[in-house]
Amino acid sequence: MSLPSLTLPTFDDVAAAAHRLKGMAHRTPVLRSTSADEMLGAQFFFKAENLQRTGAFKFRGAFNTLAQFTDDQRERGVLAFSAGNHAQAIALSARLLDMPAVIVMPEDAPASKMAATREYGAQVVTYNRYTEDREAISRQLALERGMTLVPPFDHPHVIAGQGTAALELLDDVPDLDYLFVCVGGGGLLAGSLLAAKARAPHCKVIGVEPEAGDDGAQSLRAGHIVRIPTPHTIADGAQTQALGDLTFPIIRDHAESLISVRDDQLVQALRFFAERMKIVVEPTGALGFAGAQVFAGAEGNGKQLHGERVGILISGGNVDLGRYARFLAD
């Protein structure tokens, strides 16, 4: 089974999602850093979705989607595929809404994410992300079990829910000049663009991808969705192969640009968050700030963002502690 509506979401959908999530999702804090401001000569505002329920923004889209299930869909349950954050978000949302959940996860997903998904009550089915097609596996399982398949980014309710993170940031800091957002399948960026277009149309929204997974930028250059092999990057939440049919047109029409960063630049961003801001951020969650540094010319003098007010969406903080320690120690 699939959800009935596959039309492009609008800002009204983001606003409705915000109402639906009130009291369910955390209104995460906006953090400041004098060190970041001085380093790049700008004012930075960090939306800390690493402090969201399940440790990532994904709870917003998952709960917004499952809350709109029919009674029959709730009884049959939800099926999703995810490297980890969408998995946990669907699992917790399903538990809160009293419905069964099955999650298809790569066998090499971070152990902490897989364990948390199971602890929230979901059944986990594993696959090899480099040799097997997770979408085909998920479609077959959903058909066999009569469950509703909820993709991690390419659904209007998911996109609308994710957009509430940027909506909150823009409500708290209404005069941003730039907003940097991580990009995997594009759900967070697409939702953020809908929010920014309505709340701060002057704000330039820039998507940030891992260098090994720059399918989004390739797609914008080509004028159509470009699909790539699963990228090898430490940003496991951005190891997607393509933008979605819904996320691509929103990004194409409204994003200022898409830029990419190397894994070593992500590691430097992780260290900055740990050493200067005292917060744990996963590699995918560091894409926005690493991208702002690249855009600003952090390896030069930061003139690109000098004097500007810059929003950064920290997408999540779910990382195995052993792996995280190695990032900080290398």
Q: Hunting for tokens 């929230």 — which residue is that?
A: 120
Task: Say whether both 48 and 84 belong to one domain.
Answer: no
**pLDDT value at residue 4:** 44
Catalytic residue among 82, 93, 112, 315: 315
The average pLDDT across 298-302 equals 49
Q: Which helix (H) or strand (E) is 329 found in, with range?
A: helix 321-329
Residues 6 or more apart in contact with residue 315 via CB below 8 angstroms: 49, 50, 56, 57, 85, 181, 182, 188, 237, 282, 284, 285, 287, 288
Confidence band for 248, pLDDT divided at 50, 70 and 90: very high
**Quick check: 315 and 307 in contact, CB under 8 A?**
no
β-pair type (78-81, 30-31): unpaired
**pLDDT of 322 higher than 50:** yes
160-196: string of b/e by CB count within 10 Å (b at 16+)?
Answer: bbbbbbbbbbbeebeebbbbbbbbbbbbbbbbbbbbb
Task: Report the relative pairing of strands 148-149 and 178-182 from DSSP bridges.
Answer: unpaired
Same domain, 174 and 192: yes
Residue 70 confidence (pLDDT) above 60: yes
Quick one: pLDDT band at residue 238, thresholds 50, 70, 90?
very high
What secondary structure letter does DSSP report for 262?
-
User: Which pLDDT does position 110 carry in this prediction?
Assistant: 77
For 256-281, write each residue's pLDDT tens digit: 999 999 999 999 999 999 999 999 99
Q: Which two tokens stand for residue 140?
A: 């077959």
pLDDT tens-digit series, residues 31-40: 999 999 999 9
- pLDDT tens for 178-207 read 999 999 999 999 999 999 999 999 999 999
The set of residues, in sequence order, having a beta carbon less than 8 Å from that of 327 and lying 6+ positions away, is 234, 267, 270, 271, 283, 319
Give the Cα separation of 125 and 161 in Å (integer): 25
- Any domain includes 23: yes
What is the mean predicted confidence (pLDDT) over 62-68?
A: 98
Domain with 200 in it: 11-56+155-329
**Mean of per-residue pLDDT scores for the chain:** 94
240 is a domain residue: yes
List Cα–Cα distances, 7 to 135, 154, 157, 188, 195, in angstroms. 20, 11, 10, 17, 17
Confidence of residue 84 (pLDDT cuts 50, 70, 90): confident
Confidence of residue 298 (pLDDT cuts 50, 70, 90): low
Q: How many CA atoms lie within 13 A of 136 on its CB side?
A: 6
Residues 111 and 165 in one domain: no
Clarify whether residues 47 and 171 are in a common domain.
yes
Distance, first Cα to last Cα, the chain: 46
Q: How confident is the model at residue 129 (pLDDT cuts 50, 70, 90)?
A: confident
Asked if 220 and 310 sit in the same domain, the reply is yes
pLDDT of residue 330: 72
* Boundary residue ending a domain (149, 175, 202): 149
- Do 234 and 199 belong to one domain? yes
In a domain, 3, yes or no: no
Nearest CA among 308, 47, 251, 63 for reference residue 166: 47
- Looking at 149, 184, 214, the residue that finishes a domain is 149
Catalytic residue among 47, 58, 113, 192: 58
CA distance 173 to 170: 5
299 occurs within a structural domain: yes
Our answer to whether residue 315 is catalytic in this structure is yes
Asked if residue 299 has pLDDT above 60, the reply is no
Across the range 279-301, mean pLDDT stands at 88
Last residue of a domain, one of 149, 182, 211: 149
Of the pLDDT bands very low, low, confident and very high (cuts 50, 70, 90), residue 61 is very high
User: In the numeric block, which tokens belong to residue 27?
Assistant: 């209104």
The secondary element (H helix, E strand) that includes residue 289 is helix 287-296
141/161 same-domain check? no
Query: What confidence category does residue 6 fall into, taking pLDDT thresholds of 50, 70 and 90?
Result: low
In a shared domain, residues 17 and 98: no
In a domain, 2, yes or no: no
pLDDT band at 300 (very low <50, low <70, confident <90, very high): very low
* pLDDT band, very low/low/confident/very high, at 302 (cuts 50, 70, 90): low
**Ramachandran angles phi, psi of 316, nearest 5°:** -175, 170
